[in-house]
Structure 1
Amino acid sequence: MFLGMAPFLRMSIAGEEFLQFAQELIVQVQQNPDNAILWMNLATVLQCLDDTETGLETQRQALAMQQVYTYPAKQQPAKLRLLMLMLPGVLSVNVPLDCLLENSDIELIYYFITPEAPFEAPIPEHDLLMVGISATTENQFLLQELEKITSQWPVPVINTPKHVQNSERLAASTLLQNKPGLTIAQAHPVSREALSAVVSEHTALPVCDFPVILRPAGSHGGHGLEKITNREELASYLERVQAGTYFLSRFIDYSNEDGQFRKYRLSLIDGVAYGCHMAISTNWMIHYVNASMYQDAWKRAEEARFFNEFEQFAARHQQALQAIYETTQLDYLGIDCGETREGDLLVFEIDPAMVVHAMDSEEMFPHKQIHMNKVKTACRNLLLSRAFAHQNPAENGLKG
């Protein structure tokens, strides 16, 4: 059975060791070399083990045999078949919807496409289409081509390609400028040569002064993302992080009076915001897994207050959230954000492919399930309402 990403994320969050699971999968693949599903499951677990190169090669083996993978609905009969357009590549390039809908009555059909042959395999019957691709710098042309195709699609489309393009880092940082109640640092593409000149010739930084944030163009998940405060740090960064083009933006200090930084992950579903998690750290670059949320009870207590008072948070930032929805026109979107000292919503990144889940221990995070169930319900309702908008709700079910 195709496993998707959900079981491996659950194991990782629980601190379970899945190297043995990977070894068992390798044996199964060796015994069944023509089973594409086993190859794809192995590709996912290898990437979860940070063996990205081997994982991608294994994924290529799987896709050479089969381009369509079905994640069955756990609750049968399925109410809906959702066809998701996906890209080969690292896990972060696609929307991991199975992590949110792993126990639902919605069947997910992953259809992997390539720029060379986007629809080479037969298209399975489905009730709804979702463009499950993250908008990176590299896939903008593909999204443009997909827009031509999906604009004539016979069933409704969630996150149309032209709207997904609005979430690409450079596009988003431009489109969301000067919105009421919203702050986002403009991303500026800068060549390696221009940055090297700042070091060697002591020229000024393009656009803004130190401190700045640098990352390779097209990177996600904090890869290569660093705060640079002077030329010496810039020289060191360029030695360590190789790229032809970087995104440069000004650093905005969003720490609170206690010296802690607070980052929020939200889901914007059909224009309505939902809290997904809050992380607190003394480091400006926050990832939930390294923010000591599992170790520090006071941080979990503050996160619980964030969830319980989320209506006030959403009301406080209603203008900014509405601007994001109206500007991107995305049906399903993840938002990583903070709050400026002036009270604006400080947007770090928007991306439909952000991981959203309800897999944390209920014993350690008793506050999460009730709120994450709201996210699950909203996502399910979005899909069902769009798929069957012209049918009597009592008739909702599989077509075909």
Structure 2
Amino acid sequence: MNMPCIEFQPRATTAVALPPLMGLARLMAMAFQGTDLIPLAQTLIARATDDEHDANALMDLSTILLLQGLREVGLATQDQAIDCHRVYHLPADHAPALRLLAVMTPGDLMTNAPLAFLAERSDVALTMLYVRPGEALPTWLPPHDALWIAVSESDPVRGLLEDLSQACTGWGPSVINHPDRTLRTARTEACAVLQGVPGLYIPDTIRANRSMLQQLVRCEAAPSRWLSDGDWPLIVRPVDSHAGHGLEKVSSPCALAQYLATMPDAEFFLSPFIDYASADGQFRKFRVVLVDGVPYAVHLGVSSHWMVHYLNAGMTECAAKRAEEERFMADFDTGFARRHAAALQGISERIGLDYLVIDCAEMPTGELLVFEVDPGAAVHSMDPPDLFPYKRPAMEKVRAAFRALLGRAVAARSASPA
């Protein structure tokens, strides 16, 4: 897709200033803490009813709806907001020293990198510009010191990322997370790009349509026909699913048939199941973020189930798990990061993004097992500080690295010819 650019100025604002945007980080923290968001949603609905151009009310309302799992109405409300206004602002918590512009696209909570979590409690003023797939890109950009392409890879936005990649050639060296590198984070592409990295293991992954999977069901083909290390059991998930939605381990053709009977999707990712259990039988999934190639600890989830999600791993209920996570974070530089230095460096070099989140595990044989690389995965410190006092210091390290990354982008922009 290669579309001509058009003028893309924001609409004129009304004489009365709108109430400010609350934003994702604040609203998600409220939801995380168990706050009843219904009264706030009702207030936002009243604001939007009184003023149909109150884009901030509509955008915050859409975020609440998405947080409550009301995806369709949440996305419809978001579309209304973007029809009103393409540009949204979150002021800095301290005297603003740096203006960060994030290019985003409509979608659910995993469509764009949640930069508000990184910018909170800082001197970074965050402006968000929404562009839609299939439309011409703007020639006008809001004033900024650094530009971050915050759109994560998925099938619906690959064309947009390609268009943004072309546009970035004229946007200068302050561009962070260049979209052509974001395209490398697709599951199949990341699998291909990261093969052969020393100390790293990433399972072979393919896109499979229903016809291919039905061949497995009917025993007309073996998994090894498409997967170099493929055998039962397999991991299957719909394309563009996240957070474990539709993800299952299937151990036989019969189990795969039962799975397909419940899933209407046309395409799936297929990979071999890897048993990464530690010697104690527990599964440990690590989240690490690379900021300008330097790794930082985000979290460690410990579970008796192979599909580890931090929120359902029992970390809040188990002091021993929290103590293990605290040790992981305290010893990260001399422990995990040192053990897997070659693998983490290889990921940084081959993917090439300035900011990248990695979900991974440690194989019993010592390799770093990579599940996913995604610049849009959440990095936050919303966990209750009384139970997780070690989380905030770790997050402050990430925020400091984020701020330093922005500073280098600004310096590069200043040093470049006008």
- Structure-2-length-normalised TM-score: 0.90
Secondary structure of 1:379's counterpart equals helix
Q: Contact 2:105 / 2:133 at 8 angstroms: preserved in 1?
A: no
Secondary structure of 1:248's counterpart equals strand
Letter in 2 for 1:335: I
CA, structure 1 residues 118+362, in 2 after alignment: closer, same or farther (shift >3 Å)? farther
The residue aligned with 1:329 is: 352
Q: Contact 1:67 / 1:121 at 8 angstroms: preserved in 2?
A: no
The residue aligned with 1:14 is: 33
The residue aligned with 2:251 is: 229
The residue aligned with 1:25 is: 44
Supply the distance in 2 between the matched residues of 1:216 and 1:379 (Cα, whole angstroms): 32
Supply the distance in 2 between the matched residues of 1:195 and 1:13 (Cα, whole angstroms): 38
- What's the offset of the Cα at 1:117? 2.2
Q: Contact 1:136 / 1:169 at 8 angstroms: preserved in 2?
A: no
Supply the distance in 2 between the matched residues of 1:168 and 1:26 (Cα, whole angstroms): 37
- What's the offset of the Cα at 1:27? 2.0
Secondary structure of 2:195's counterpart equals coil
Q: What is the aligned counterpart of 1:61 among 71, 80, 86?
A: 80
- What's the offset of the Cα at 1:83? 1.1
Gap runs ≥5 in structure 1: 393-400
**For 1:314-357, what per-residue CA distance to the aligned partner results, in whole angstroms no more than 9, with x for missing partners?**
01000000000000110001010100010111110000000001
The residue aligned with 2:298 is: 276
Supply the distance in 2 between the matched residues of 1:327 and 1:302 (Cα, whole angstroms): 31
- What's the offset of the Cα at 1:141? 2.2
- What's the offset of the Cα at 1:109? 1.0
The residue aligned with 1:397 is: none
Q: What is the aligned counterpart of 1:199 among 190, 201, 217?
A: 217
Q: What is the aligned counterpart of 1:74 among 82, 93, 101?
A: 93
- What's the offset of the Cα at 1:121? 8.0
**For 1:232-273, what per-residue CA distance to the aligned partner results, in whole angstroms no more than 9, with x for missing partners?**
210111111221111101111111111110011111000000
- What's the offset of the Cα at 1:100? 2.1
Supply the distance in 2 between the matched residues of 1:248 and 1:170 (Cα, whole angstroms): 10
Secondary structure of 1:254's counterpart equals coil
1:238 aligns with 2:260: yes
- What's the offset of the Cα at 1:221? 2.1
The residue aligned with 1:259 is: 281
The residue aligned with 1:86 is: 104
Letter in 1 for 2:262: R
Q: Contact 2:219 / 2:253 at 8 angstroms: preserved in 1?
A: no
Letter in 1 for 2:339: R
Q: Contact 1:182 / 1:347 at 8 angstroms: preserved in 2?
A: yes
Secondary structure of 2:170's counterpart equals coil
Letter in 2 for 1:352: P
Letter in 1 for 2:32: I
**For 1:265-308, what per-residue CA distance to the aligned partner results, in whole angstroms no more than 9, with x for missing partners?**
11100000000111111111111111111111111011001011
Supply the distance in 2 between the matched residues of 1:346 and 1:23 (Cα, whole angstroms): 45
Q: Contact 2:218 / 2:253 at 8 angstroms: preserved in 1?
A: no
Letter in 1 for 2:47: Q
Q: Contact 1:156 / 1:386 at 8 angstroms: preserved in 2?
A: yes
Q: What is the aligned counterpart of 1:156 among 174, 196, 203?
A: 174
The residue aligned with 1:174 is: 192
Letter in 1 for 2:61: L
Secondary structure of 2:155's counterpart equals coil
Supply the distance in 2 between the matched residues of 1:48 and 1:16 (Cα, whole angstroms): 12
Q: Contact 2:174 / 2:413 at 8 angstroms: preserved in 1?
A: no
The residue aligned with 1:363 is: 386
Sequence identity percentage: 41
Q: Contact 2:47 / 2:54 at 8 angstroms: preserved in 1?
A: no
- What's the offset of the Cα at 1:187? 1.2
**For 1:77-121, what per-residue CA distance to the aligned partner results, in whole angstroms no more than 9, with x for missing partners?**
x11111111010111010001012211111111111112324348
Q: What is the aligned counterpart of 1:183 among 201, 204, 210?
A: 201
The residue aligned with 1:374 is: 397
Q: Contact 1:127 / 1:155 at 8 angstroms: preserved in 2?
A: no
Supply the distance in 2 between the matched residues of 1:189 and 1:99 (Cα, whole angstroms): 32
1:386 aligns with 2:409: yes
- What's the offset of the Cα at 1:391? 5.4
The residue aligned with 1:340 is: 363
CA, structure 1 residues 239+121, in 2 after alignment: closer, same or farther (shift >3 Å)? farther
The residue aligned with 1:140 is: 158
Supply the distance in 2 between the matched residues of 1:170 and 1:328 (Cα, whole angstroms): 13
The residue aligned with 2:117 is: 99
Supply the distance in 2 between the matched residues of 1:197 and 1:250 (Cα, whole angstroms): 16
Q: Contact 1:169 / 1:349 at 8 angstroms: preserved in 2?
A: yes
**For 1:203-227, what per-residue CA distance to the aligned partner results, in whole angstroms no more than 9, with x for missing partners?**
4234322111111122222221111
Secondary structure of 2:302's counterpart equals strand
Q: Contact 1:100 / 1:358 at 8 angstroms: preserved in 2?
A: no
Q: Contact 1:280 / 1:293 at 8 angstroms: preserved in 2?
A: yes
CA RMSD of aligned residues (A): 1.5
Q: Contact 2:119 / 2:125 at 8 angstroms: preserved in 1?
A: no
1:127 aligns with 2:145: yes
- What's the offset of the Cα at 1:174? 0.9
Q: Contact 1:8 / 1:45 at 8 angstroms: preserved in 2?
A: yes
The count of corresponding residues between Structure 1 and Structure 2 is 391
The residue aligned with 1:398 is: none
Q: What is the aligned counterpart of 1:301 among 309, 320, 323?
A: 323
Q: Contact 1:134 / 1:164 at 8 angstroms: preserved in 2?
A: yes
Gap runs ≥5 in structure 2: 1-19
Supply the distance in 2 between the matched residues of 1:152 and 1:172 (Cα, whole angstroms): 27
Supply the distance in 2 between the matched residues of 1:290 and 1:131 (Cα, whole angstroms): 31
**For 1:131-177, what per-residue CA distance to the aligned partner results, in whole angstroms no more than 9, with x for missing partners?**
10101133222211211111121451101111111111111111001
Secondary structure of 1:91's counterpart equals coil
The residue aligned with 1:313 is: 336
